[in-house]
Structure 1
Amino acid sequence: MAADLLQDNMESEIKELREIVQNYKPGITVTVPDKITFPENLFIGLFGRTGCGKSSLINSLKFAVSGRLRRAQWIDVASQEKAGGHTMFRKIANLTHCMYVIDNRGLDNPSAEQAQAEIAAQLDGHRGYSESVQWATDEEQPSSDTSCTPTLNLETGHPISCVIFVFSAIHDIEADFAGLNLVIDFFHRHQGCYPIAVVTHVDVAERKNVEILAAVLRVSGFGDIYEVANITDEHTKLDEQYQLNLLSLLERCMTIGDNTAVFKHYQRVEKEKKKNMLKMGRREKVVTPENTSRTKPTDMTEDQRCKRGEVKETLQKTEEERKEIETLKNEFQMKMMELEMLEYEHKMKMKLQQQRHELEMQQNALEIREMKLQEEERERRFQEQLRKIESDNRGELIRVMEANNAVKGARFPRFQPVISLPSPLPSCRLQ
């Protein structure tokens, strides 16, 4: 009864979330005091290591949004032998009439400066979908200005409002996550929101590996972590729990996308203010009479040179302290990660010891039960043998008694008179 009620609640929640996702329009999840022009579409960017399951994740998202997915609508997933088995170009796929997902080539070292330069260009919509992704440093400096999303154009690309990092519970369990926290901070500075972490292959991986990977991602700085299963040739449908997780993921993407649009708007406003203030300052310097009588740098007094040197030295020390703090912060985060891993290993060890103790108790109980059964079996056999012996002895005793009776009858037969006297005898008179 309780299971049926839980099933009904899950189906009702899936239906409600599916309607919310299908009816989503950018800007519908936030309320701001200023008038902001939101983009027409929401573009979600997928990043992750080679073979983490990004393309399969898109198929799973399409299935969760529609409730079913025909084989002809699947995103092609290359085999392991073809092109390294993974995406070479940026690919775009639609989930709803205004929600799109952008797949990328495998990103095996996201902390590299070259990769961050390419990521920044993609976030701002300066990369199309027909060019190969090289993760190389680009000479151009992409502007962070984000205009309204244009119509679908495979040459120019689109600004990405929500970022999803995909990790496999099978292939990424032994990956090197050093510097991942720097990448997360980079996304936060650029987008105003933290990226989302998605752990794939949870339906075929060991639960222990899924928990370890989630703990590492949590320590690295991910606040939103979703566990999902992927549509494959062997698994063409998703369980309702995974459908619910995927729809909740898209609901979170909707909120992050709208918040990113708000962040970009105020970022542009601040840049305009600074630009106007800089222009005003330049005009004042041109008009002010003091500028004409300004002393040259070579005419500075000794006191001014000392002050400038002190300021320069202070700035240099501040920069060194900032770098030192950043280094200590990274070391602290790595130690926290190691500590959490040790704590998790200790908990797993204690859990294994408890399970071992329970198994030993069960084994002892089984041994005692087996000994009792053996004892009962021996007692049964003993009683059965005793009854057999008694039965055999009784038969032997009867046989012996019959034999004895036969012998006695042969030795002492019954007396049989030879001469028979007449009856009654005649009377004789005595003389």
Structure 2
Amino acid sequence: MDYKELRRKIKAFSLDDGDLGSQGYKQVLLQLFGLTGHGKSSFINSCKYILNDGEPFKEYAPTGQTSDGGSITMRRNTYELTPNITIVDNRGCNTITHFERAEVYAQLGNFHPLDQPVEWKEDFKDRMSILVDEDLSKNTTDLLVPIFIYSVSYDLQPHVQKDLEVFLKNCEAMTGVAAIIVLTNKTSKDFSEVEKKFRLMGMKIVIAIENYTKDGDVKTLRKTTDILGILQIALENVTFRLSLPSDPEKDRRQRKKFLLNYIHEAVVESEIGKIKEASMPQKMKEKKEKPSSNNGCVLL
């Protein structure tokens, strides 16, 4: 399809176009998630640049990291792509523990309010009590599409892949939509090796792109088509979801149930780990505490 026609179709997309209508959903929420510095904000800027045809490149979403390597994005920042499509720059992580993993699921499940600071809860029981007593965001009208951003300039080590596979499948269970894997910085190295690793994890949609940036804003057909293709696939997933009977309230209850179950299981695992560690000989404890290199990737 011609890129101009593809852009037109994306901008004209409506949730009411399907045979069953919108079924109570009011907007598509493209949920970006992943590690700090892998290109979530740059992807947002690229999408805005392409859809706002004729306008100069602008950094709508701030890019880069803090001086200590942390994430600039500390909120669930939203950016309107069209009247029916909003893209979300969720808070990323440098390293991710069981606690932080629960917080990522909470963001993907839309339990953190949009455009508000995201504070990691360092205690599972604190997070569970908040979810049980009061939803931070009671919005049930957003249809969620998870998009995982990963830069091919980072090595994906074998010991990380299994945990990452479980993590991504849990994200699908949380949202009801299989995650779209977007590999950024495709020309920095051979992206086909990283793509293969994600496909071996069972990920069906893996697309490599180069983002537009302030210093690289010359539009090319390849860059533009790749990025529009991601948005097209996301909307095809939405159309498929809406071809099936759906209940936004029920979907949210299912997401909440999944998150509470995950937190409960993590609490049990954490307590078992504490008991095992307490019974370890001192030499084993010292060995366990030694840091290990993970070549720029984190254990999810």
Same fold (TM over 0.5): yes
Distance 1:127 1:198 in 2: 23
Relative to structure 1, the CA distance from residue 182 to residue 231 in structure 2 (aligned partners, 3 Å threshold; closer, same or farther) is same
Structure 2 residue aligned with 1:162: 145
Q: Any idea what the Cα deviations from partners look like across 1:303-361, whole Å, max 9, x if unmatched?
A: xxxxxxxxxxxxxxxxxxxxxxxxxxxxxxxxxxxxxxxxxxxxxxxxxxxxxxxxxxx
| Superposed counterparts of 1:347-426, under 5 Å | none
Relative to structure 1, the CA distance from residue 118 to residue 257 in structure 2 (aligned partners, 3 Å threshold; closer, same or farther) is farther
Distance 1:72 1:102 in 2: 17
Please report how far the alpha carbon of residue 38 of structure 1 lies from its aligned counterpart in structure 2 after TM superposition: 3.6
- Secondary structure of 1:162's counterpart equals strand
Q: Is the 8 A contact 2:146 2:175 kept in 1?
A: no
Please report how far the alpha carbon of residue 267 of structure 1 lies from its aligned counterpart in structure 2 after TM superposition: 8.2
Structure 2 residue aligned with 1:422: none
Structure 2 residue aligned with 1:265: 247
Paired amino acid for 1:115: E
Distance 1:235 1:79 in 2: 19
Please report how far the alpha carbon of residue 163 of structure 1 lies from its aligned counterpart in structure 2 after TM superposition: 0.3
Structure 1 residue aligned with 2:177: 193
Q: Any idea what the Cα deviations from partners look like across 1:356-395, whole Å, max 9, x if unmatched?
A: xxxxxxxxxxxxxxxxxxxxxxxxxxxxxxxxxxxxxxxx
Structure 1 residue aligned with 2:267: none
Structure 2 residue aligned with 1:418: none
- Secondary structure of 1:19's counterpart equals helix
- Secondary structure of 2:162's counterpart equals coil
Structure 2 residue aligned with 1:249: 230
Structure 1 residue aligned with 2:215: 234
Larger radius of gyration: 1
Q: Is the 8 A contact 1:44 1:163 kept in 2?
A: yes
Distance 2:69 2:212 in 1: 21
Q: Which has the higher contact order (CA 8 A, sep 6+)?
A: 2
Higher mean alpha-carbon deviation, 36-45 vs 218-227, is at 36-45
Query: Within the alignment, does 1:105 sit opposite 2:85 as a pair?
Result: no
- Computed over aligned residues only, the root mean square deviation of the Cα atoms, in angstroms, reads 3.1
Greater percentage in helix: 1
Structure 1 unmatched ranges of 5 or more: 1-11, 150-158, 273-431
Please report how far the alpha carbon of residue 266 of structure 1 lies from its aligned counterpart in structure 2 after TM superposition: 8.2
Please report how far the alpha carbon of residue 23 of structure 1 lies from its aligned counterpart in structure 2 after TM superposition: 0.2
Aligned with 1:221 (options 191, 202, 215): 202
Relative to structure 1, the CA distance from residue 173 to residue 182 in structure 2 (aligned partners, 3 Å threshold; closer, same or farther) is closer
Please report how far the alpha carbon of residue 102 of structure 1 lies from its aligned counterpart in structure 2 after TM superposition: 0.6
Structure 2 residue aligned with 1:31: 19
Paired amino acid for 2:237: I
- Secondary structure of 1:131's counterpart equals coil
- Secondary structure of 2:131's counterpart equals coil
Please report how far the alpha carbon of residue 263 of structure 1 lies from its aligned counterpart in structure 2 after TM superposition: 6.8
Taking structure 2 as the reference length, what is the TM-score of the superposition? 0.70
Structure 2 unmatched ranges of 5 or more: 255-300
Distance 1:116 1:74 in 2: 27
Structure 1 residue aligned with 2:283: none
Paired amino acid for 2:30: I
Paired amino acid for 1:100: T
Please report how far the alpha carbon of residue 24 of structure 1 lies from its aligned counterpart in structure 2 after TM superposition: 0.6
Identity of paired residues, percent?
Answer: 20
- Secondary structure of 1:84's counterpart equals coil
Q: Any idea what the Cα deviations from partners look like across 1:53-106, whole Å, max 9, x if unmatched?
A: 110110111122233442446322145527635322221111112211111222
Runs of 4+ in 1 over 6 A off after TM superposition: none
Query: Within the alignment, does 1:183 sit opposite 2:167 as a pair?
Result: yes
Query: Within the alignment, does 1:121 sit opposite 2:106 as a pair?
Result: yes
Relative to structure 1, the CA distance from residue 101 to residue 265 in structure 2 (aligned partners, 3 Å threshold; closer, same or farther) is same
Relative to structure 1, the CA distance from residue 72 to residue 245 in structure 2 (aligned partners, 3 Å threshold; closer, same or farther) is closer
Distance 1:130 1:266 in 2: 23
Distance 2:9 2:215 in 1: 30
